[in-house]
Amino acid sequence: MFKQSTLVSFMAAAAVALLGTPAAHAQVIKIDGSSTVYPITEAVAEDFQKAKKNAIKVTVGISGTGGGFKKFCRGESDLQNASRPILAKEMADCKAAGVEYIEMPVAYDALTVVINPKNAFIKEMTVSELKTLWEPAAQGKVTKWNQVNPAWPEAPIKLFGAGADSGTFDYFTEAIVEKAKSSRGDYTASEDDNVLVQGVSRDVNAIGYFGYAYYAENMARLKGVPIVNPKTGKAVEPSGANVENGTYVPLSRPIFVYVNAKSLAKPEVNEFIDYYMKHADKLIREVKYVPLPKAAYDGNLKHVKEMKTGTVMGGKNEVGITVEELMKREAKM
């Protein structure tokens, strides 16, 4: 009986200790959202914590852009990584919960169309060729390369692409098929881009698409397809330089970080954003993404200081938009 009573008192003590603690974690900056933006934010968080000698703690989760916005609009995270702009429905959710936010474009991501290095017949592709290949009508019909371009051999096509829950899929379909989430379904889909890298690198007749960083890290095993710029008619290689000079269209897109306006009352969140924008250029290059011009980061800091809440994107994906255009626009809630 003695043992039982000690157990009971131990459990009571545990309960008291549990209930008495919830306010202990004031100094943690919570970030969640897209896996595409994750490497950048992780690099910033890592260096920021070191610079602050671990006095400020940062946590970064990967819930995906959509899953992250759900948490963000409930006020559960301070910052939200987003590989696409906030959508109309998410704007409504945030509004309903009284969450105001400031939108900050942080980098470019270039969707890269890749083929096997042994593939000798594809030198470049046009948007309409990609559309022929990927539109829903192609399902089960377009299966040989010569159906896309008569100059190409009669070889079977092996398709690899992003899973339907990713922001990459949303943007690619919007840019190529001109309708978000509209794609053929008979291809190997994976949320894990390394699966796609493996697939394309093992099959001569394969073609796939994913974020530029995965291509940049695996150039020995993959070939990036130059995409014909619809305005100039010239084929443009996927490369950091071509994204920066604005010729790699329509497959380059800005990616964003959103900050909850209420979180800006916390000095540590302000410090973090300041650090993010000041070190973005160096860190983004290091993780193989394409940084924005310096003016964009200065603009972000200015927006944060002036509490310019809302989005300039109008609640939808937009193809071929430049960051200069973004910075000029007026944000709306």
Partner 1 sequence: MQPLTTDEIRIVIAKGKFRDNLFKAVGIFCLAFALLVIVALIADMVIKGAERFTLDFFLNFASRRAAQAGILSAWVGSLLVMLVTALAAVPLGVAAGLYLEEYAKRNWLTNLIEINITNLAAVPSIVYGLLALGIFVYQFGFGQSILSAGLTLALLILPIIIVSTREAIRAIPAMIREGSMAVGATRWQTCRYHIIPYAMPGILTGVIIGLARAIGETAPIITIGALTFIAFLPPLPFTAAEGGATAGLFDWVMSPFTVMPIQIFNWTSRPDPAFEVNAAAAGFVLMAMVLSMNAVAIYLRYKMRKRIKW
Q: Where on the chain is the footprint of partner 1 (CB under 8 A)?
A: 13-14, 17-18, 20-22, 24-28, 30, 35, 38-39, 41-43, 45-46, 49, 54, 57-63, 71, 192-194, 211, 213-214, 216-218, 286-288
Closest distance to partner 1 from the beta carbon of 60 (Å):
4
Closest distance to partner 1 from the beta carbon of 59 (Å):
5
Nearer to partner 1, 163 or 320 (CB): 163
Closest distance to partner 1 from the beta carbon of 251 (Å):
17
Nearer to partner 1, 67 or 246 (CB): 67
Name 95's Cβ contacts closer than 8 Å, sequence gap at least 6: 333
Closest distance to partner 1 from the beta carbon of 218 (Å):
7
Nearer to partner 1, 42 or 124 (CB): 42
Nearer to partner 1, 206 or 213 (CB): 213
Nearer to partner 1, 81 or 119 (CB): 81
Closest distance to partner 1 from the beta carbon of 214 (Å):
4
**151-156 CB contacts, 8 Å cutoff, 24+ apart:** 151/121, 152/121, 152/122, 153/121, 155/204, 155/205, 156/205
Closest distance to partner 1 from the beta carbon of 189 (Å):
15
Nearer to partner 1, 17 or 96 (CB): 17
